[in-house]
Amino acid sequence: MTQLKSELAASVEFQVKWNSDHAAHEENFYVDRVHFWRDLLPAKMKAALLESPPGAWTHTQLKAGQGVDAYSSRLVKALKLAQVDEKSLGRAVRGGRFYPRGVLKDVGGIFPQNRAPFRVSTMNGHGLTADFNHPLAGRELTLKARVAGNISNKEGRGGSCLAVEDILGVGPGMQARANGCPTDFFYPGAFEREDPARDTAFYQQPRMVNHIDTRAMEVVSGLYGRVLKKGMDVLDLMASWNSHIPGELELKSVHGLGMNQEELENNPRLSGFTVQDLNESARLPYEDNSFDAVICTVSVEYLTHPLAVFQDVARVLRPGGVFVVTFSNRWFPPKAVDVWKEAHDFERMGLVTEYFLQSEAFKELQTYSMQGLPRPDDDKYADELYCSDPVFGVWGVKA
């Protein structure tokens, strides 16, 4: 393998960990081309990456203000409700939510085409407080990195990221509550759908297809491999023909609950299954304390009564049991609830986190994201999309 030098570029995987008041968070980024002379990484990390063999992790602690711009009270502004163009936005703004700055009027430095986000940190009947800080401003971060491959064999120009803040981009931090207050996801109509008909008709036809690409499926499987343990009894909630559980993981049992019998019959991981529409009945057909873990893969966006489902999941979990929810940015639009479709990817992690919190049945919450991995060459979208489908996860332990 080519010896890594500062004049060369390579693919680098970054991992950022941070904590909010209610959860621990882990963000993962695969950056295809990092140039070790031109890109502005922390000096100690850059030196360690150049000195370490490919694949070896190096890490550094970033105090508040080092990873992203420091939090500034000058970037928090009191505005009148009339300064928000809710007509162009298509909906009313709500507390804790993020919106593009371009919907604001008569605010210095803001123009209609500005898509950078701001947060409505508080609201009252007359106005709102708009926070223009980066969502991670004021947070201490743990940054890890490793050379993941694709080391260039000649000197060249360019690079993919300019600084830590460019790696983090827009998104990480949005999943945390503002000022410790619940985010207002539960507005009237939030859980309505484009197709309000019963789901039994929509899911009557089996769909033996993958809803995320194969690399994203590997990420989901890897995450389940971290959380699930040998010998567990597992419930695959809203299951289909693939449970995405590592093949080498020996479990005592895996029971599936889904919408289509033929899909469930073709799932080789299942020890048994039940056909049930959770939007018709959130009560799970199992005894209390039946499972060590419950998983839900790329399906939570279809729940119209999520809090009831989360509460009943806690009922069927054994003490110390874990509930893991994973999702991406692909779904069936007619059946996804309104709040899911209009939220940012990382706000969706906040929404699922809010399900856990407001169910009052879970503790030790964690969130996870993986972005930027190359899309598999054999994927049908390989010619259109360079990056693999992002993967997001939220999990908690039964309280």
Low-confidence ranges of the chain (pLDDT < 50): 1
Query: CA-to-CA distance for 306 and 21, rounded, in angstroms?
Result: 22
Co-location of 302 and 373 in the same domain: yes
Question: In CATH, what number is assigned to the domain containing residue 314?
Answer: 3.40.50.150
What residues make up the domain containing 248? 199-398
Number of folded domains that form the chain: 3
Residues 6 or more apart from 178 whose CB is under 8 A from it? 95, 96, 119, 120, 121, 122, 131
Co-location of 57 and 91 in the same domain: no
Kindly list the distances between the CA atom of residue 92 and the CA atoms of 70, 81, 128, 193, in Å, as whole numbers in the listed order: 30, 10, 12, 18
Query: CA-to-CA distance for 392 and 368, rounded, in angstroms?
Result: 6
Query: CA-to-CA distance for 211 and 327, rounded, in angstroms?
Result: 10
Co-location of 141 and 214 in the same domain: no
Query: CA-to-CA distance for 172 and 337, rounded, in angstroms?
Result: 23
Query: CA-to-CA distance for 235 and 316, rounded, in angstroms?
Result: 9
Asked, for residue 344, whether it belongs to a domain, the answer is yes
Co-location of 97 and 55 in the same domain: no
Question: So what's the pLDDT on residue 160?
Answer: 66
Question: So what's the pLDDT on residue 158?
Answer: 58
Question: So what's the pLDDT on residue 1?
Answer: 46
Identify the CA nearest to 175 among candidates 29, 30, 24. 24
